[in-house]
Chain A
């Protein structure tokens, strides 16, 4: 049994230690918001947060998250940075097919939580692990800046 907190809830799964966390989430727990894109850490579609840090769940093993606090796209809206990112994403109509967007949003939320006023270089560094085949990058960049501003404004309130 591997125990961890998933979106605030105590969760235990009976899986092999080396099972990738992605498949624990998608196929064992049935939460499909976290996406499979490459399986080898190259695309970012599977990004989740482990204790607030972004992690590519396709190359993390179940045993690695024992005792950890996991957040997925389904609950990222409950964090201030996640909420700001989702709002900016909708406001600027970032999304196209949407398949990569769970991962984009998870990476973006982690970025603005860590770097409250991200520069273009910060955005390049924080987001270049996330591929978007629909090419939404122009709007991803704008939306991160907008989200960072609105998150900062909320903190100031």
Chain B
């Protein structure tokens, strides 16, 4: 999830991977369970948890991670197809069930789709799986043909006897190959011979997404199924006190009222009846201990906490003394609001509780956690709960959480029928688990060379890791909270970063696209621009000087500068801003061009992004993910804000929680730098990079430094 943990975990898992053929100890399984996995459908050859070859030569890849738009259902099968030597036209996918075999080696072997870790976690295991499967098919062919294995090679879908040219289709070898034991240490292809990886391949999941046939969790239909609509206490931690059940039951189609401690659900024949039933039920709640929580109080508490010493994430040299002695320094506080995820597919979960088992149909980023929480809620063993995963209508971190799965299980437990729980958009916005409010205090001193000689950065906010991955907290430092901030990418001599954990009372917080880096890169790259301005230097020249010798960093910066015609005049009310980052294993520079109207409205006109994410797997998907991440980030700069008053979230739907629309969307150009380095993550860095690029462009256009998100027109109006 974060770089610190990644490094720690990837060491473990690399070791684990060398033991292919046996499950590694210590709870780390890397998805290599010879013969243990059961073949799905009429699959004949299933050498591991991922590959299912049938007798017609079609391969279904059982996907350890879930597709939520990021293109992983194409890019990961490409990796298997490359090594196994398959035609992409014969490759399909299946959702994986909950199971340790599908854990991500980047994430301690836990089954999670998140943190831009899918390619990074499964690139090597999938290459190995593909190469091993190919070798087994060749061994099977050698036996069938009575020839030496060394006389054989493959073409997509066939084993070929080189001398005679005789071809045997993979499908015909599936049966024989499945009788073989799985060899260890099969050699991988030389990357210079790749014919699939590195080329834009058509996505495998899209055909059904243009004609309505794709099934998301919300589309599940189970015979006898009912639909439930929920209202939870509008204040977090409140409890249900009364429900007008009689009125609710009078609504045509309403079948049942299910009460939970903090919520009520109306179960009906369809959503509309349930929704009307809920209105009639007019639930009342005791607001509980958080009835007076407000954003203003939360921010005041964060500001106060920022006066405290934090847990030290990084300390090099003696930043405090250098700062104290300096006469050229800058100091600032930066603030970032609570944010909702607002996935297009509202939160939903379908559950059928039977006497000794339970089926759950849902779209989740965490099949294992989903299974565990439902089992706990129902007093069952995890094995009694089957998770049927679905395509996600957006994840962005929301579907890393299982609050709604627990809730759906507790509702469905009260009904003999399968129940599909669907949250209204209002419920979705007001009962999200939010990207936390962060409050950063940052300062720096310039040396005689105009470069930062000292840098201190205090990060203050909720710790998601402390709740979600408690084992990864290290001496009070949340590695995600400081991810992107503690690495000292600019090599400043006297450098100090600390973290103060301050939890907002009652408000659930969660990962959000770009996780720690999305918060930190905004602060760092904005503040670095402040320093460049203080030094009277061009922002790109300033970064280049600091990054001298870092060729991958300079590569993306120079490319973005060139694409943007950096330095050419733009005209009144317009400005350009740059950002650089090295997060998620990926180097990226972005230049944003904005126009700020006299009324203070910001329009992002154009974004130029240069990315070096190591070896590109599917270049078209990389471009798409950058476009996506950039627009997601612009929404955050210009609109995103969840506020609380009297313990209640004030926003409720897309009129007051606005999402960027096409008419305000910029032109975006992406350059992918060719590289053979290890592949980096791509789902999130677009978001973390665009926020400061826009902030810096707004500064260039207006002279106003935005240190608090989102930007408000009243602060940017021409005076």
Contact = CB atoms under 8 A, between A and B. Distances in A.
Contacts of B218: 32, 35-36
Contacts of B344: 35, 37, 43, 45, 97, 99-100, 131-134
Nearest to B71: A96
Interface string A9-45: 0000000100110010011101111111111101101
A4 interface: no
B212 A137 contact: no
B297 to A, nearest CB: 30
Given A97-B391, A98-B214, A137-B662, A37 B667 contact: no
A81 interface: no
A94 B15 CA distance: 39
A99 B394 contact: yes
B420 to A, nearest CB: 9
A97 B271 contact: no
Given A32-B221, A38-B425, A135 B391 contact: no
A67 to B, nearest CB: 21
A156 B686 CA distance: 42
A95 B210 contact: yes
A100 B346 CA distance: 11
A96 B70 contact: yes
A128 interface: yes
Given A99-B393, A134-B628, A86 B211 contact: yes
B654 A32 contact: no
B663 A128 contact: yes
Contacts of B425: 37-40
Contacts of B631: 135, 137
Interface SS majority for chain B: loop
A80 to B, nearest CB: 15
B271 A72 contact: no
A138 interface: yes
Contact of A23 (B271, B654, B660): B271
Contact of A38 (B215, B216, B630, B653): B653
B209 interface: yes
A5 interface: no
B123 interface: no
B205 interface: yes
Contacts of B424: 39
Contact of B345 (A27, A74, A99): A99
A20 B270 CA distance: 11
Contacts of B68: 97
Given A99-B344, A124-B663, A136-B628, A42 B271 contact: no
B271 A26 contact: yes
B104 interface: no
B212 A135 contact: no
Contacts of A127: 662-663
Contacts of A70: none
A131 B659 contact: yes
B343 interface: yes
Contacts of B175: none
Counting chain B residues whose Cβ lies within 8 A of the other chain, the interface size class is 35 or more
Contacts of A134: 69, 344, 394, 628, 632
B246 interface: no
A39 B346 CA distance: 10
B270 A27 contact: yes
B629 A135 contact: yes
Contacts, number: 171
B209 A136 contact: no
A42 B655 contact: yes
Interface in B354-393: 391-393
Nearest to A89: B210
B231 to A, nearest CB: 14
A97 B624 CA distance: 11
B490 interface: no
Nearest to B209: A98
Contact of B210 (A40, A42, A90, A132): A90
A133 B205 CA distance: 18
B37 interface: no
Contacts of A149: none
A140 B662 contact: yes
Contact of B632 (A27, A98, A128, A135): A135
Contact of A139 (B270, B271, B422, B624): B624
B272 A23 contact: yes
A151 B516 CA distance: 46
Contacts of B76: none
Contact of B346 (A26, A27, A36): A36
B269 to A, nearest CB: 8
Most chain B beta-carbon neighbours within 10 Å: one of A19, A33, A38? A38
A74 B667 CA distance: 31
A20 B252 CA distance: 15
Contact of B665 (A42, A96, A102, A137): A137
Interface string B329-351: 00000000000001111100000
24 contacts: A20-B272, A27-B269, A27-B271, A32-B218, A37-B344, A37-B346, A39-B425, A40-B425, A72-B212, A74-B212, A86-B211, A93-B202, A95-B69, A96-B71, A97-B343, A98-B206, A99-B343, A100-B344, A127-B663, A133-B394, A135-B660, A137-B660, A138-B668, A141-B662
Interface of A: 16, 19-20, 23, 26-28, 30-40, 42-43, 45, 72-74, 76-77, 86, 89-90, 93, 95-102, 105, 123-125, 127-141
